[in-house]
Amino acid sequence: MAKMNWAAGTQCVAKGDHRKPKPGELAYHKGDILTIVDMNTRRGFYEARHNTTGEEGLISSTNVREREALRVDPSLSLMPWFHGKISGPEAVGKLQPAEDGLFLVRESIRHPGDYVLCISVSGDVIHYRVIFQDNKLTIDHTQYFYNLIDMIEFYSKNKGSIATTLVKPKQKQGTKSAELELSKTGWLLDITKLTLGENIGEGEFGAVYEGEYMGQRVAVKTIKCDVTAQAFLQETAVMTKLQHKNLVRLLGVILHKGLHIVTELMIKGNLVNFLRTRGRSVVSSVQLLRFALDVCEGMEYLESKKLVHRDLAARNILVSDDSVAKVSDFGLTKMDTKVSDNVKLPIKWTAPEALRKEKFSTKSDVWSYGVLLWEIFSYGRLPYPKMSLKEVKERVEGGYRMEAPEDCPPGVYSLMTMCWEQEPRKRPAFHKLREKLEREMGEHSSSPGSERRDGIRSGSGC
């Protein structure tokens, strides 16, 4: 039975084709993603927008299903055909019964660091050694690949110099194909519909490009390293669960030579650069408060989902065309509160207990939010100016706190100091912070002569 209470903004996947729409109805193909715009008076019908063509019209709820979130599942793999360190005979055993084109990849035991592509052909198994050379992979010294995903993709389409094209992956026991799951849930996008534009940013693990996906402007984060791509898959799975006006929205992913994460394009870039390049003559204090409130609402939503961000900072806040700030970079977002791996922590933004005991919580996010408020009201300055990381760690532990930025409203500075309570439970929750900010906003926006949503002061000549 189709659910009858979809709210506006719900993403749906078409269960079949609807090629010949009646007047007022929307045309779509199986697998197309549609956004619910409104309920319709006709029972079982909705007003919807086609995500790729942008057309609007009526759809019947029985022909679509809600796009599900991808389960965060460590067995989800971009390389389900990768079996790790197993011997040649073991690989042969796994490729039974013989079937032309059945394949797997293993790590070479005799040549650590190299891989072996094993393929079943005419009842035999052929082992191709994959050599790692100049940061690339190759079997025949003519075709080179960024990573194994890239290589498997190539030989699935081209025979090249090997005996057969790859037809069927032999999946490692206990893994699930990420591609299959993404496609079933409606999060796999079609690369042929993507046009890549200019490079707009460098992430730690890959470049970010501007692009267009069937008429919609998007940002594309490309991750070429297969191991990193696998880690980011979990980030993506978290993002499929989250929908809020102050969180950067995931449109879907593309699997091609690695992982491409496609999100809404945030034209005005990250908040640090936004504030630094415009400064106080252009951005009003009311606009600063709006940014603060936007982020707070996004964080309140994460708080309600019991998710901890762990890397909240102005560099991870992006600004949309209409100057709405949204939280991005869920890379470290986790349900649990302990990090076991030695991740590099952003010292100047991280709460003392998180630095000391790796105790992350919504309240450690609140600490970071205080630092973010300081960044906003200082127009993008680096926190703890002129202090080394070591000094920050020691002095903050000893009770030192930053002073208020120049011209910072006292009410906002007092919020910062609340966020920087040594004791995590004494810090306010995000919903409390939001209420306080709204009050602050009420006082400021009643003062005459300032703002528009784009934050440009009237009469500033910009």
Binding range to ligand ADP, per CB under 6 A, among 79-87, 102-110, 259-267, 400-408: 259-267
Binding range to ligand ADP, per CB under 6 A, among 27-35, 141-149, 227-235, 312-320: 312-320
Q: Which of 11, 120, 230, 263 binds ligand ADP (CB under 6 A)?
A: 263
Residue 127's φ and ψ, nearest 5 degrees, are -110, 115
Q: Which of 270, 284, 287, 378 binds ligand ADP (CB under 6 A)?
A: 270
What is the spatial distance between Cα 25 and Cα 147, in angstroms, rounded to a whole number? 45
Question: According to CB under 6 A, which residues from 317 to 356 bind ligand ADP?
Answer: 318, 328-329, 331
What is the spatial distance between Cα 339 and Cα 172, in angstroms, rounded to a whole number? 27
Q: Which of 233, 239, 265, 302 binds ligand ADP (CB under 6 A)?
A: 265
Q: Which is nearer to ligand ADP, 182 or 318 (CB)?
A: 318
Contact yes or no for 204/344 (Cβ under 8 A): no
Q: Shortest approach of ligand ADP to residue 236 CB, angstroms?
A: 12
Catalytic residue selected from 150, 311, 329, 365: 311
Q: Which is nearer to ligand ADP, 151 or 247 (CB)?
A: 247
Q: Which is nearer to ligand ADP, 36 or 189 (CB)?
A: 189
Q: Shortest approach of ligand ADP to residue 447 CB, angstroms?
A: 32
What is the spatial distance between Cα 163 and Cα 120, in angstroms, rounded to a whole number? 9
For residue 376, the cross-strand partners are none
Question: According to CB under 6 A, which residues from 191 to 230 bind ligand ADP?
Answer: 200-201, 203-205, 208, 219, 221
What token pair was written down for 278? 């415009």
What is the spatial distance between Cα 402 and Cα 385, in angstroms, rounded to a whole number? 9
**By Cβ distance, which residue is nearest to ligand ADP?**
201
What is the spatial distance between Cα 455 and Cα 294, in angstroms, rounded to a whole number? 13
3-state SS track over 362-388: HHHHHHHHHHHHHHHHCCCCCCCCCCC
269 lies in the site for ligand ADP, by CB under 6 A: yes
What is the spatial distance between Cα 449 and Cα 459, in angstroms, rounded to a whole number? 10
Helix, coil or strand: residue 350? coil
Other beta carbons less than 10 A from residue 386's beta carbon = 6
409 lies in the site for ligand ADP, by CB under 6 A: no
Binding range to ligand ADP, per CB under 6 A, among 58-66, 104-112, 264-272, 368-376: 264-272
> Catalytic: 190?
no
Q: Shortest approach of ligand ADP to residue 269 CB, angstroms?
A: 4
Q: Which is nearer to ligand ADP, 186 or 211 (CB)?
A: 211
266 lies in the site for ligand ADP, by CB under 6 A: yes
Q: How many residues bind ligand ADP (CB under 6 A)?
A: 20
Contact yes or no for 240/69 (Cβ under 8 A): yes
312 lies in the site for ligand ADP, by CB under 6 A: no
Q: Which is nearer to ligand ADP, 139 or 325 (CB)?
A: 325
Q: Which is nearer to ligand ADP, 78 or 272 (CB)?
A: 272
221 labelled as ligand-binding? yes
247 lies in the site for ligand ADP, by CB under 6 A: no
Residue 234's φ and ψ, nearest 5 degrees, are -70, -40
Pure H helices in 5-111: 88-94
Packing angle, helices 362-377 and 285-304, rounded to 10: 170
Q: What one-character-per-residue DSSP string does 405-440 give? A: PTT--HHHHHHHHHHT-SSGGGSPPHHHHHHHHHHH
Start-to-end CA span in the chain (Å): 54
Q: Which of 344, 362, 373 is nearest to 271 (CA)?
A: 373
Query: Which residues are part of a known binding site?
Result: 221
So which residues are the catalytic ones? 311
Binding-site ranges for ligand ADP (CB under 6 A): 200-201, 203-205, 208, 219, 221, 248, 263, 265-266, 269-270, 315-316, 318, 328-329, 331
Query: Which residues are part of a known binding site for ATP?
Result: 221
